[in-house]
Every structure is written in C-alpha cells, then in structure tokens.
Structure 1
C-alpha cells in the first residue's frame, strides 16, 4: 500500500534550489534510473531526482548510468549497441527485486512525461561514456528537456566539459539553463570554469570536500551540491560549511534527521 506523500516544503532553501535530491530516483528502494524509482521518490516526499541520460546506438536518449547492460538489466554487452526496439525488451527491474520484474529501461521522453506530471525537479546528468560523442548527446537530450521543464525545475550537470560547453552553446541564457559542473573535488581553478560556462552549481564528492573550497564557493554565490551521501549524521558539518544540497540514495534519512534535530533543539530552548 502506498504511503501518503508527506509535505516537502521545508526541504528547500528556496523554490529553485533543492536541498535533497534523490540519486537516480529513490535508488535505495527501487531500481535506479527507472520510472519506478522516480515514482518511489515522489511517493516518499522527494521533490527532486538526479538521473543519467545516454544515447542508444540509434540516437534514442535513455535514462541509464553504465556503459554496459549487465549490472542493472537482464541484458549483456554495451548500451550503444542497442536500438530502441531491443532496449524496450530488457528487464531493468528484476535485478533489484522480484516486485520490479518487467520494469523497462526508461526513455528520456517517458521520464520527462512522468516528471512533468508529478511536478518534480530534475538534475539531469549528461553521461558521456568512453568513446561516445558528447555533442550528439547534448543535441538529442537537451532540447526536449528544456521544452518539457521550466528553468527552476531543471539543473543539467556533467563530468564531461565538452558536454557542458555544448550545452551552454545550445542555450546561452544561464537563467534558462542552469549548468552544474560535476567533479570528484573542486577543480584547481573552479572559479574560471564556472565563469566560462556561466555555471549555476558545482557537484562534488562530499568525502573529498574541503571546508576552504566550500566557503570560497559560497562566497562566489555558486550553488554547491554534494554526492552521494547516505549518512545524515556524518554529513551534518557540511551544512555549516555552506553546502546547498545533498544527492542521496535515500533523502528521507536526511529529512527525518533534520526534523529530529529541530525537535531536540526546540525542546532544549523551551
């Protein structure tokens, strides 16, 4: 039975800046990057999801993380060797649990339709696997995404600088397209990269974040999101450093922890 969806208005710093983002959907409870994972995130009260987009061999954009098929489906081989017809036959759910048997690989089109219907925000990662063309991915994935979602419901991120450059060339207005620079730690000259790309945010590995960089990023009014954290207690100090949001396999852990902390604080001051 589906639980009632809790209110999530307290989960955000403001309407456009997500504080809690469900990594590949609610991937702690459903198969990652699927429609089921996004629906599960929504049902749990999450307002934002982070998803990966790549291209099939026929140019169809799909929501998928790995270059290969084995880990998250009953298929084998490389993603780019599939066309839309063969991809639709894969089972992308049984690996996670029998209740997800028959869950399909989501196309970008089907995912945007769901996110639009649910009114959720999307952090779309342009996933450029080795040997794949970043510009082709941007040209196929970005226009329909921009058309489907308002600017305050979309952040487009990537580790691949060619993809980010192509995305900015396609949409030059930083208010219409918010770009996020993904890296494991702050680039040596991160301020030059954010300026060149008119970037909205940096997305960094929380385990490698240094307080010096976090404070500098906040001073420059660049948003800072950290991935992939699942322990709200260990993560606590990063909020004090000025981190804006966390990307987590289960953001509800962070919401519950924040609520408990607030209650304890209120009890002490009463």
Structure 2
C-alpha cells in the first residue's frame, strides 16, 4: 500500500506548524512584505520540526514518533521506505498545497499576494534545519555519532529537494563547521566524509540556476584544495566548479579527474554561470 499525504495529514502538520508570530505585529505591513514575513516564520518553525525529527530518527527508541504527527508517512510503517525519500515525497505532495492558516494583509490597499505553498516552505525549512542543528552542535556532544548521522541525512535531503533558498543556510553551516571549529567533535575521517557530503549538496544547487555569489566563492576555495583532497571528493569539487564557472577554467589544476560520481546535467539546462562572475559583470 502506498501512503499518500491526505487532507487530514495536511491539517495535522499545519497544526504543528501554527505560530501566531508568523503574522507581523505591525498592521501597517502590507503586500509582499507581509507574506515574506509569514513565509520566513513558517520556514523557521518547519526547520525546528524537521531538525528535531531527523535527529530523533537516529535513536531507535525515538524513531517511531520522530516525525509525529505524520509518522505513518515517513518510513515508520514500511521498513522498505527510506525516510529521506519519504520526506522528499512529502515536499512534492505539499508543493501546490496552500497553507490554510495564511491570511493576506488586512490592508485593503495592499497588493494581492496569492497563497503560501507548504511544500516550498518545507524545502527551505530543510536547509535552515541544517544550519540550526550545526549551531547547537555543543548540545549533542554526548551523542556525536547520532548527530553526525543527522547532518548527513539533512544534506541528503538538500540534495533530494534542492531548496530555492538553500544557499545562505548551507554556507552558514559550512562556516560554522569548518571555519569556526564546530566539527572538532568528529574524527578526521568523519570530517572528510562530511565535507564530501557538503560538496554533493552544493552540486544540485548549481543545477537550480540560482546565481549565488557566496556559493561560488565557497566552491572556488574548495577548488584550490583539489590537489590535497581524496580522489572522490576532488572529482565532485571539480564537477561543481565546472557547473558554476564553466569547464576548462585555468583557476584549477587540469588533472583530468573523473566526474562519474556527479549527477548528469539535465537536458536543456544552461551550461554555466561564468558570465555572472566574470570580471566587470557586476556594477
């Protein structure tokens, strides 16, 4: 039997995500600002939920209720259903479902803003959950293996759903882990595996076509380390670099690394972002 997200599941989820602070307290806020505030607050609430659920999933005793109130949709009722695939499917099923709690701005002169899509907010909440979980890494020093598994799961989710607003949270999480030292609770081998997982999460973001300079700069720094990276990570770094700056760039060594581990470029997708980051392209 294939479990699907039914109307009562949507209502249960929305009850979990309801927060009066989603709506601006300033009644003068109108139009898109009103809606943007609501979406940001909803994404933050979803991030808290998905982060706690993914972490709880790593503990056997907490797994059956980790994704309450929709545990029956997230791999707990069917052992052959991966929980990452389950959450990605949930995002897809909620993609066109409007949030029943959203109310447009009460200002009659404000522009119409349509509705808020639950699936889009949940995708962005997944990326934010990664950052929030890393921020509280010291809270999980007693269970580093479970915490590491949760980070890997969230990075796999980012790869699966490709959130539109994933760039900032992902780069923030990278800085916290590898520049500010939050990854010190892991072994060197675990750190290498986590860095590789980050690279795999960055690659599909390049496919979205979102021209984000912070990701470009991060990938450029990673490309400088290609000679000292393990072969698999170096191949994926090079593939990601080529996605952003175009193949054959002289900034990285031409070592003919294989890129078979990188996903294939979708048919008809723009070849690169090189024109965006070229000298003189920005004012």
TM-score of the superposed pair, with normalisation by structure 2: 0.30
Greater strand proportion: 1
In our comparison, the structure showing a higher alpha carbon Rg is 2
